[in-house]
Amino acid sequence: MRTVIRGTGMFVPPHVVDNHVLAKVMDTSHEWILQRTGIVERRYAAPGTATSDLAVPAGRAAIENAGLTPEEIDYVLFATMTPDYYFPGSAPFFQRKLGLRNLPCLDIRQQCAAFVYGVQLVDALIRSGAFRNVLFIGAEVHCAFMPWECWDVLLDGAERPVSDEERASNTRFRDRLVLFGDGAGAVVFSGEPEETADGRGVIDVLTHTDGELAEKLYTPAGGSAFRPYFSPSMSERGETVPIVEGREVYKLAVTLLPEIVSRILERNGVGPDQLDLLVMHQANLRINEAVQKRLELPDEKVFNNIHKYGNTTAATIPLALHEAREAGRLRPGDLVCFAALGSGLNWGAALYRC
């Protein structure tokens, strides 16, 4: 069997938070954010909206796009770093809300590299013959971990002044708070016999983890490393906000990503000039531009949408894949590479023929 992409879907919250809004609540500016990240705006979910809530319309859209019914999905793979609850994962809640039958649902925690790891798992499930139609979901509600108290300004457009104390607290985390947005992307993968696939499908996947670098991207609060798991002091010290060592992560990404893309192409007998589209994790436009330059790829062979959504972690590649398909950037026979690096440190690449 070949593992082929049969349908895609996405959903983002309707509320847009642009850089000018963030400048109202901390010391930053549209120019500062754009220059460093390439982000213009991002979406925030309304209070009370869980990650599984965003995943439902994305999953439903992908199933419909695939020409299937929910009853025909026989496995769900759910990726997020912002689950509805500490446990269980979001997959069972998504299953219930979408009205899926009692099929197996697996949660994975590969954060920004989740889609590449997901493709590897999905391909193994389908090639084994155990499952035919697998739904991958990447979804995040990042605004839930942000230490905002000024939700009326961010979501309701209130024009009240933000206190100096609150502004200083927000500014302390501005390097991270400007990065993240909320959203969900979904992909339906199906098994197709080799003789009818006509060369389409997953070709190869490469993944790596280096735990020596785990603290470059992590949240230093909550979990069995502490007694108790959570305490009020963690929030007071800002330890519930992820640590992102930006300069170190940049250096790692612009080295490891072009390296792994080159390796997966080389071991499958093709060069960068034969690649039709590169879809990378959308963490920072400057990273993606540097990777593109090192691979010597023209603009028409790279797809980015970070300017609209910010970093949506596990959702970024599914969102970009769906929008690339909708924009006609993927044609039958095209060779596509997906590449990502994120917390863990996890990174990888997947090669796919449309």
Predicted local confidence at residue 217, as pLDDT:
94
The class of domain 201-353 in CATH terms is alpha beta
Predicted local confidence at residue 80, as pLDDT:
98
- 105, 112, 150, 337: the active-site residue: 112
pLDDT at 65 over 90: yes
Per-residue pLDDT tens over the stretch 128-149: 999 999 999 999 999 999 999 9
**What band does 23 get if pLDDT is binned at 50, 70 and 90?**
very high
Range(s) within the chain of domains with CATH label 3.40.47.10: 2-197, 201-353
Predicted local confidence at residue 200, as pLDDT:
96
Torsion of CA 227, 233, 235, 237, to 10 degrees: -120
- 305, 311, 322, 337: the active-site residue: 311
How are beta strands 346-353 and 302-303 bridged, if at all?
unpaired
Predicted local confidence at residue 344, as pLDDT:
95
Residue 221 has which token pair? 């609060």
Per-residue pLDDT tens over the stretch 104-123: 999 999 999 999 999 999 99
pLDDT at 236 over 90: no
Predicted local confidence at residue 118, as pLDDT:
98
d(CA 25, CA 166): 8
281 in catalytic set = yes
Predicted local confidence at residue 321, as pLDDT:
98
Counting beta carbons within 10 angstroms of the beta carbon of residue 219, is it exposed (0 to 12), middle (13 to 18) or buried (19 or more)?
A: middle
Q: Which residue type does 226 have? A: F
112 in catalytic set = yes
Q: Per-residue pLDDT averaged across 264-278, rounded?
A: 97
Predicted local confidence at residue 33, as pLDDT:
98
Predicted local confidence at residue 104, as pLDDT:
98
105 in catalytic set = no
Per-residue pLDDT tens over the stretch 144-160: 999 999 999 999 999 99
- E strands, the chain, in order: 2-11, 16-18, 41-43, 75-79, 105-108, 133-140, 183-192, 201-209, 217-218, 243-244, 277-280, 302-303, 335-342, 346-353
User: What's the per-residue H, E or C state across 98-149?
Assistant: HCCCCCCEEEECCHHHHHHHHHHHHHHHHHCCCCCEEEEEEEECHHHHCCCC
pLDDT at 327 over 90: yes
pLDDT at 270 over 90: yes
- 143, 150, 281, 284: the active-site residue: 281
pLDDT at 20 over 90: yes
For the segment(s) 2-197, the CATH number from 3.40.50.10860, 3.80.10.10, 3.40.47.10, 1.20.140.10 is: 3.40.47.10
